[in-house]
Amino acid sequence: MRGRGGAGFPTGMKWGFVPKDSPKPKYVVCNADESEPGTFKDRYLMERDPHMLIEGMLIAAYALGARTNYVYTRGEYRYLIEIMDVALEEARAAGLLGENILGSNFSSEIYTHTGAGAYICGEETALLNSLEGLRGHPRMKPPFPAVAGLYGCPTVVNNVETLTAVPDIIKMGGEAWQKLGTEKSGGTKVWSVSGHVKRPGVYELPMGYDDMEKFIHEDCQGMLGGRKLKAVIPGGSSVYIMPASDIEGKDVRMDYEGLVAAGSMVGSGGFIVMDETVDVFESTKNLTEFYKHESCGWCTPCREGTDWLVKVFKRIEAGEGRPDDAQLLLDIVDNIEGKSFCPLGDAASWPIQSAIKKFPEDFRRKVSNGNGAGNTKEGLPTA
């Protein structure tokens, strides 16, 4: 199973990196710092079935020999900690948690922990720093957390959706679970649908669901107010934006390969649907402001770059657009993408690159409305 947090790293391989013979204690940490804009599946899973998460964590703890485990929940979800704590108490009372679980010689404890409002703490090494009581700056990798994670000990960090799938995988057998999806993208994916559809919410679909157009117009009951679809951000705010023309009549399969082929990514599955009333310049500015605010300040390309991006967006919006502003944005992005310390820089870059490429009109209109009008060298691709 590929991790469902966003990066899609194979979970079994991650567990396999934990050294078996390490004399240090081992930790399983559940990443419930669900902060990617448009994503709320983990909240739903913990709210409705906390025991499924506890079971998944204990299986992981048993497999890895971890005695202590933490659920790192984002600060805004602190009410979920109350739900989790009750469920943990129930599990303890049933002999499923704590010392000598079910009379065996396996003992393991799960504790809840709260973040306090920082997107970056969803990055696993920043999460570990935060859990150690530090600022949530990411750490240099390698060493990877599997070797030196929490308190320098072998640690596995997995997303809520990943861990809640573990009991089903064990129960059904890996092969049967894999077959729920496609050969390359096994199992199911939980999507968080928001925006201009009649029925937003949390949807669990088999990987390879066919196809995105049907999903929007049938499962989500179509667009609000009967307006036209303009764009979808299918995998949380940092993935490439998809114009309606890349979805309608295009048979986009909803899995890792299908979305890459269609020019985007599964990411966290935060499926944001936008209708024709949305200006993609404005939506991209909104996301860029988010990344600027959430840049942790640790590395220069991301800290300074996101700040400059917002400055350019604001200047364009104030009617002072210049002919080469789109190119300027792309140039700044070029100095962030792949050059930042952690993936937040990439996450800030991709929405801008794809928005300018796919919706040049929305940028052109803003720029040419500015006092830099009459632009012939506007640096925009012709759609």
Is 43 an interacting residue with respect to other proteins (CB under 8 A)? Answer: yes
Is 343 an interacting residue with respect to other proteins (CB under 8 A)? Answer: no
Considering only 257, 289, 320, 324, the residue that binds other proteins (CB under 8 A) is: 289
User: Concatenated DSSP letters for 41-102?
Assistant: HHHHHHHH-HHHHHHHHHHHHHHHT-SEEEEEE-GGGHHHHHHHHHHHHHHHHTTSSBSSGG
Taking Cα atoms as reference points, which of 148, 130, 133, 145 lies closest to residue 33?
130
Tokens of 150: 């929490």
Residues in contact with other proteins, shown as a per-residue x/- string from 243 to 272 under the rule CB under 8 A? ---------------------------x-x
Tokens of 302: 């991301």
Nearer to other proteins, 78 or 171 (CB): 78
Kindly determine how many residues on this chain lie close enough to bind other proteins according to the rule CB under 8 A: 57
Nearer to other proteins, 33 or 55 (CB): 33
Q: How far apart are CA 104 and CA 102, in angstroms?
A: 5
Considering only 31, 108, 125, 130, the residue that binds other proteins (CB under 8 A) is: 130
Considering only 293, 311, 314, 365, the residue that binds other proteins (CB under 8 A) is: 293
Is 5 an interacting residue with respect to other proteins (CB under 8 A)? Answer: no
Helices 300-315 and 325-334: crossing angle in degrees, nearest 10, is: 170
- Count of other CB atoms within 10 angstroms of residue 89: 11
Is 298 an interacting residue with respect to other proteins (CB under 8 A)? Answer: no
Nearer to other proteins, 237 or 354 (CB): 237
**Stretch touching other proteins by CB under 8 A, among 95-103, 132-140, 259-267, 339-347:** 132-140
Is 35 an interacting residue with respect to other proteins (CB under 8 A)? Answer: yes
Beta strands in the chain (DSSP E): 27-32, 68-73, 109-114, 155-159, 188-195, 201-206, 209-210, 229-233, 242-243, 253-254, 270-275
Is 200 an interacting residue with respect to other proteins (CB under 8 A)? Answer: yes
Residues in contact with other proteins, shown as a per-residue x/- string from 92 to 121 under the rule CB under 8 A? -------------------x-xxxxxxx--
Is 83 an interacting residue with respect to other proteins (CB under 8 A)? Answer: no
Is 192 an interacting residue with respect to other proteins (CB under 8 A)? Answer: yes
Taking Cα atoms as reference points, which of 216, 354, 355 lies closest to residue 278?
355
Considering only 2, 11, 14, 36, the residue that binds other proteins (CB under 8 A) is: 36
Residues 193 and 203: beta-carbon distance below 8 Å: yes
Query: Interface with other proteins by CB under 8 A: which residues?
Result: 34-40, 42-43, 68, 70, 74-78, 111, 113-119, 130-136, 151, 192-197, 200-202, 224, 233, 237, 270, 272, 274, 277-278, 283, 286-287, 289-290, 293-294, 296
